[in-house]
Chain A
Amino acid sequence: MENANRTDLRERTSSVQRWVRENAGLFLVLPGLFLFSAFMFYPILYLLYLSFMRATNAPPTSIHAGNEQFIGLENYVTILADPSFWNSMGVTWLFVATSVALKLAFGIAVALVLTSDRARGKRFMRSLVILPMGLPAVFSITVWSKIFDNARYSLANKVLLNLGFEKVSWMTERWLAFLTYNVTEVWLAYPFIVIITVSALQDVPDALHDAAKVDGAGYLARFRHVTLPAIKRPVMFGGILTAAASFQQFLIPFIFNDGGPGEANSLLIHYGYTEAFGNTSPAYGKAASIMMLTLLFIGAFMWLNVKKGKLADGVGDR
């Protein structure tokens, strides 16, 4: 009896040991996972809690500040019935669509120009062209906000006047402001797309192009049938990353014109931020529910992309 127990115990320890040996890799991953989870999931849970509360008094400095009051789904009901929330949601998705399309088209075009066989000094030019990535976003966005200032003497207006057009109130007209958001976002993000595209282009074997040339394919045909399939995957991945960045764009509306005119261009994160910190009467509970909905949407968006784009497998599970 005792003997049997002992063998049983030995077998069990050895199976634990075997498990540990087989899953040793897990212990290399856990520290990172733990730290990431601590800073991601705890705030999200707290946000969820706060979104069921009426919290308007002071900035909450602790989990139980004592000035919150449970009101169930009221915040969500208020938000979902608020047209300005739906405006923000709509304009955010529109911004994602337009800015991502522009970023990809522009980034790929620049990458193609700067990898062309015939261009001289392209390596040097490629080093230069990614410099905007090194500038702090706060700075770049402030500069762009002044380039597109309403004033007569802003750079954009000056160029327009010199070309013989009238001066334009960039910040006070809704779609013009939206356009300037797009231009700025493209300028901020194109280096990333250029780098990804260039590195993908360099992996395309020259032999493929030569073979296509021998078969009489023109430049466009070669782009469609040789280049595009080869760069599709990395560029798609870059596109998804940059779409997520666009979705969460905060500094552009914050620095440009506070999401204006009015609240017309208040992108979601900025909208929630204004509810919490920007107004004279802060509504942390309401802001928390906006942020929860934002996170829900971005989560669903990323999940769909990762699933459809098969980003998690393919590379890893060979």
Chain B
Amino acid sequence: MSLLSRIARSVAGDVKTVAYSPIAAYEHTRYTVTGMRTGDVDPADVAMSVVSTITALAVVTLLLFPIYWVLKLALSGGSASLFATNINLLPTDPSLQTFVWVLGDLILPGYKLSLTIPGVGYDVFVRTPELVFLDASAHGVEYPSEFKRYLWNSMTVAVPTVLLAMSLIVPGAYALSRRQFIGRGKLLYGYVLFTQVGGGIGIASLIALYALFVQVGLDANKLALSVYYAATAVPFNTWLLKTYMDGIPKSYEEAAYVDGASPLRVVWEVVLPLSKAGLATVFIFTFLAGWTEFIVAQTILATDQYTLPVGLFLLVSEYSTPWPKFSAFALTFALPIMLVYLGAQRYIEDGLSFGGVEG
């Protein structure tokens, strides 16, 4: 719980900073302008700042233009296309209908609960009201997408992936960082060797992987796919977390040992809290491993088990891809991840430092 409240507090802080930023910027500009008038601030200095800020803005705009283009397309709806007879930067007739199509009905049906009071012989009925969050047909959407089914499939693949992967990676990284044991160096070497090869081997050995899954009767099994994703995530993430843990001074643990804490308690109360950024990064990476993988999922899973990326690709056809729907689908799919990136950016920057400066 304390973790959740801490996350909530940090998100609230971020939102506040963003909300106040126009005021801060205004104050800053006013200060600069008065400074220049009184001669306290060097105009050349200000000009340099303006130029670098504009350069940075230009770079960001250019890089994110494809995302904006796709968002515009999703908002245009109807038969809008990725191809354009003329380049309009704003959607002509913006509507959220494509997003309604993606989400479909969001209705929580009413349930009837019956409770028998023992000994008396009375039944008590409780009827929960039907909760309608979004009624697709009211917005002119007759056949909504199967987004929710794909989402459910993706969740049931990604959550076990993360749980399994974390339970393998965290102890492994700790042992590699803090313990000496036989073959440690060789293992570390092997892990680094395999860091980025996992996914590639997946495709290279797709035939073999398929044969393996079929032979043990685990094709069309989402849990087996999670186990596979967790396995491919092990080397890179173990190595990443180990590198992060290496950067934590050992003196903290030694102090705790001197105070008489047990090894388990030291790990739980000293090492893990200090590895927060590393853990967050590894968490996101293992989650994404299952969340975005396409080719193995498509090969192994049955049609009704398809995950979001496979469902997304099914929308593409050679001649008549519904581009606005495709874009809205993809953006809805990516939105939670993008939000996590926005919020966790500083942790990821810390977590991916690879032990930066040699010490």
Contacts and interface: CB of A to CB of B under 8 A. Distances in A.
Given A24-B181, A134-B337, A234 B85 contact: no
B83 A146 contact: yes
Interface in B78-102: 81-87
Interface string A116-130: 101111111111111
A185 to B, nearest CB: 14
B341 interface: yes
8 contacts: A23-B181, A63-B215, A110-B59, A137-B292, A233-B358, A244-B195, A244-B197, A316-B177
A218 interface: no
Contact of A116 (B52, B182, B231): B52
B243 A195 contact: no
Nearest to A287: B207
A25, A42, A126, A241 interface centre (most CB from chain B within 10 Å): A25
Nearest to A240: B196
Interface of B: 18, 21, 25, 28, 48-49, 51-53, 55-57, 59-60, 63-64, 66-67, 69-70, 81-87, 168-169, 171-172, 174-185, 187-189, 192-201, 203-212, 214-215, 227-228, 230-232, 234-235, 238, 242-243, 246, 291-292, 294-295, 308-309, 312-313, 316, 323, 326-327, 330, 333-334, 337-338, 340-342, 345-346, 348-350, 352-358
Interface string A10-46: 0000000000001111101101110110111011101
B169 A138 contact: no
Contacts of B349: 126, 195, 198-199, 202
B45 to A, nearest CB: 9
Contact of A203 (B60, B193, B357): B357
Nearest to A288: B207
B207 to A, nearest CB: 6
Interface stretch (A76-84, A94-102, A167-175, A298-306): A298-306
Contact of B228 (A39, A127, A136, A144): A39
A317 interface: yes
A162 interface: yes
A136 B193 contact: no
Contact of A134 (B48, B55, B230, B334): B334
A91 to B, nearest CB: 17
B202 to A, nearest CB: 8
Nearest to B57: A125
Contacts of A237: 354
Contacts of B208: 42-44, 46-47, 50, 288
A126 B349 CA distance: 10
A124 B67 CA distance: 17
B22 to A, nearest CB: 11
A257 interface: no
Given A36-B232, A60-B207, 4 more contacts: A43-B205, A118-B49, A147-B82, A306-B193
A237 B176 CA distance: 19
B200 A136 contact: no
A204 B21 CA distance: 27
A123, A291, A318 interface centre (most CB from chain B within 10 Å): A291
B231 A40 contact: yes
A272 interface: yes
A147 B66 contact: yes
B284 to A, nearest CB: 10
Contacts of B51: 118
Contact of A199 (B212, B295, B327, B356): B356
Contacts of B227: 35, 39
Interface string A176-212: 0000000000010010000110111011100000000
Contact of B83 (A149, A199, A315): A149
Nearest to A270: B203
A131 interface: yes
B342 A136 contact: no
A164 to B, nearest CB: 15
Contacts of B181: 22-26, 29
B287 to A, nearest CB: 11
A121 B312 CA distance: 35
Nearest to A64: B215
Contacts of A199: 349-350, 352-354, 356
B352 A136 contact: no
Nearest to A272: B204
Contacts of A187: 63, 66
A162 B87 CA distance: 10
A33 B191 CA distance: 9
A135 B330 contact: yes
B18 to A, nearest CB: 7
Contacts of B312: 136, 138-139
A316 B87 CA distance: 53
A295 interface: yes
